[in-house]
Every structure is written in C-alpha cells, then in structure tokens.
Structure 1
C-alpha cells in the first residue's frame, strides 16, 4: 500500500529542451499556434461533416473520426507542454503522466488502423464503385471504426501497464516533452530488453502492417485510376487519394522513425523532434491537407457560412421589427 501511495504522490521532471533554454520561446510560439490551428481546423471538419447532408458518406465519417482523434491527442499533451515551457519547475504529477500516457498511446494506436481503413474505403470507392454502397454500408463503417478504437485502447492499456510496472529506483527525469513509452522505459533500473522487444513487435503490428496494406491498396487504386478515360475523373481520384497519401507519409514516417529504429545516443535529440512532429505538426496539417485539396469540403464550408449568415440576418430583422412594434404600442 505504501508503494502505491508513493507512486501516486510522485512527480516526473519533463526535461524537454531545458538544456537549450534559447529554444523555449520559439517552441512555445510553435506549440501555441499549432494547437490553436489544430483546434480550429479539426472542429471545422467535424462541424461541416455533420451539418452538411452531402458529406454524410463513409469517407467523411472516417475523416470525422480522424479529426476527433487529432483533437483529443493534442489536448492530452500540448497544454501540459505549454505550461512546462513557461514554468521553472518542469514537472508533471504521476496521475497526469499516467493519463497522458494512456490517452496519447490509445489515440496514436487507433490512428494507425484508422488510416488503413480509410485507404480501404478509397480502394472500394475507386476499384469497386458499383459495389461501394453494398460493401461500405453504415453498419460496416461503424464496425470498422469501433474495431480501430477498441484495438487502440486495448494496446494502450497493455503497454502502459507493462511500462508503469517497471521499477525506477527513484529516477524521475524524463528526457522528453511528454510521457511516452520509450522515454519512460529509460527510467527503469532493470533490464528492459523484454519490454523493448514487446514494444518493437507491437509497433510492427500497428505500423508496418497497416502501411503495407495501404501501399497494396494504392497500387490497385493507381492501376484503376489510369484506366479512367476522363481527365477530370482521373484528376478528382488522384486529388482525393493524394490527400490521404500525404497524411500517411507524415504520420507513419515519423512514427516508424521513433518506434522502429535501434536506440542510440546520437538519435536522442532527433527522436524528441520527430515525436513533436507526429504529436503536434501532423494533427495541425491534417485539416489543411483535406480541406485545401478537397472541393467538397470547401463547398460545404461555404454553404455552412451562408446558412449561418442568413439565419443571423433573419434574426436581426426579426429583432428590428419586434422593437418597432413594441415602440409603436408604447406610443
């Protein structure tokens, strides 16, 4: 019981780049701007996808899930990072560290499979267009999304439990910006070979297998798109799939670099910078990639703004005539 109480009252020191204080102000600005853009961009995609009936399709259902993931993922890490940069004591409580580890790992693992499901959706839409509504019906979309979320949270619970059970022998300095499995394993005072092997195996399952399936899907997609006679049809298909491929390269490339490369002292600083990329930059870029290259989303956003403006105008006119009526009665 005393060991449990000791862990609960424990604090971790998040070093980040405290040995390079001249980097803290630029990093604070980058983190803050990226977080604001992430919140605004992903909220816009969620609202537009839900409020516009033309976007009630499997593609935008999965895109909404991705936006929810990115919102929650950044919120689990960035606010604490901003607080620590501004503070002289760069600490995080044991409870907050556990919550951060569980949530960020669960959402990151979920996104690994979700991007694979999104590539499968594009494969069916382009390679099997006549059977698309039969294959990607509402119930199946929900089942695929639920499987991604369940697998992600199951992986998080297992890995977090194994990581937190490792004895630390009083080590509290986490050489990272937030609580992540590789950084916490380095605090252990016992041999972590088994944990690192388990982490490597699970990373292969959650990273390399989806990437392989995505590449196979897009090989078939490219083959099918090249058969389209219409230049406009080819352009639209490549535009939609191109957005997804950019997201895939950004997310999986940085995650594979972080979790599947052999550990070395020279890669320590690079690892921290790479983790910032997939934890902060990628969630910010996802809405920009999907909206700037997607006419449907931009059109839906314009329609949403037009409806809001019309309602505001009608409400203002109603208030004006109501005020005139009240004045007339008083006179």
Structure 2
C-alpha cells in the first residue's frame, strides 16, 4: 500500500520536513521499516513511462532472474542489447540503503540506455537496511550478484576482461566495497572488475568535508533535495548497525587501503553534498596509483539518473556510456 502513496501524503505521514522539503532520514526509515521499501513518488519514471518518453528503448529485451546468495535469493535483471559489443556492466541502484528496487529509475533507465548502446547489463537488487538488516548483508547480496554475472559472462556475451562494476549513489558505495572484497579474496578465486563506475557515490562514513556555506548555496540553486550532514550521519549509522563498522574498509570504501583497485570513473553532480566524497576518493585513488577520472555534471542535483526527465540526467548517463564504450581512457587522462 505504501508504494502507491502520493508524495504530499508521504510527507504528511512522516510528520515533518527538512529545509530541503523532504522528510528527514529518520522519518524515511520509519516508512521503510513499515513497508520494506520507500514508495515511488515520480509517476514519470515508471518502466511504462520510460518507454513512452524514450521509445528507442523498446529495442532492448530484459529478463528477471534469481541469484543464489548467502542470505537467500538475490533479485537481478539482465538486459540484452539489440547490437551487443562484448562489454558488460553489473549495475547497482541507490536508495539510501533503505529503498529502491529493479524498477527504480536509476536502476531500470540507465540499464536500458546502456544496453541500447550495446552493453550487456546485469542490474542487481539487494536487501535493505531495515527490520534488523545491516552491513554486511547488502554487500553480500551485491557480491553474490557479481560472482553470478562473472560466472555467466560468456553465456551473457561479455568478452573476457570486459565486465565492469558500478552503481548510483548508495549503489556506488556497494560496488566499490565489493571491488575491495574481490581484491582481497584468495588469488584466482574471483573475477576482478575491468573497471569501476561510481555515480554520485557515498563512500565515507560521514561524507567528506565541504567548504563553509556550501550547503546553503546548493539549496538556493535547486528545487531538488540537498542531503544534510545530519541525514548522511543517520544513513551511515543505520547501514552500519554498530560503531565498529563505520571504520570498516568494505562498508565504507574510503576507509583503508585503495591500492590495487580497478581503473575508476567517478561521476559527481554539482549541487550535491555527497560530491566531495567522490572527489576525495578519486584523489586518493590516484595517490595509490589507481587510474581515476572525475567528471562533474554541471547544474545537477544528487542522483539525477533517478529523474530521467531532467536534462542533466542525460549528461550524466552519456558520460558513463562514453567511458564504457572506450571513447576516452582513465589511463590516458
């Protein structure tokens, strides 16, 4: 039932709003605890609406599959390109660790678009950090999904050494954390991603520092939500479940050693307090001799790919596609 609640009623249920015009994270968590997910509030981003807005995407076929995982089945969706090019991407959606699914706009829309350009996509779902679920459960789900995709790469039509891993927002956190787990697994037991694609990723346990006045300037520049430092802290604590996990290098990938990670593309968005997390991570990757490139989408608020009607969403998506298609290389930038 909650999945069909209109945005204004959702805010009334939460009982209060932040300066950004959305319920604080603790109230969103209450809703997610009741429903198991956050309600979709944008009818223009449903799967049916996406095909109306982008009719070329009807050429892409997709299929839901179930992947075995240590905590039970993991939902996934495979996307078959009309003209495959051998490149593969395992993609993870966002949702503040407490919401989202395979129909969420930043899961379904980019998967369709990348597949339309020839990329074989496996979109992953994961258990939310609600009702007693905390790290490492969502990370374990994504790791299981990656291992399934890697073991089926030939069957999926992905060329050797061409399977990438990426995600949006919290999905970027989960992708980077899994990449570190794969790096540290027993040699020869796991396929390492050809590259990482992190779009507006939340990688630090409290976000990275930003200049004084940045939050106020961002809120003045957009009608979209700008996440507060307090909400980032609550989100991190809820995912972690206990204090020690805030220092864990797999739960929050900005922690610990970054050497040996795959070449990485970080996409940030200008009006986003999480932007500095991606920027700091890329800088530290370079210091660890990992090829890393940052691309910022001007004028975009956090997670623009969850709002496909916005022009900035297409800019962000195009930057990822160009990277995966090899029009420029992190090693040459």
> Under a length normalisation based on structure 1, what TM-score does the superposition of the two structures give?
0.26
Structure with greater Cα Rg: 1
The answer to which structure has the higher helix fraction is 1
The answer to which structure has the higher strand fraction is 2
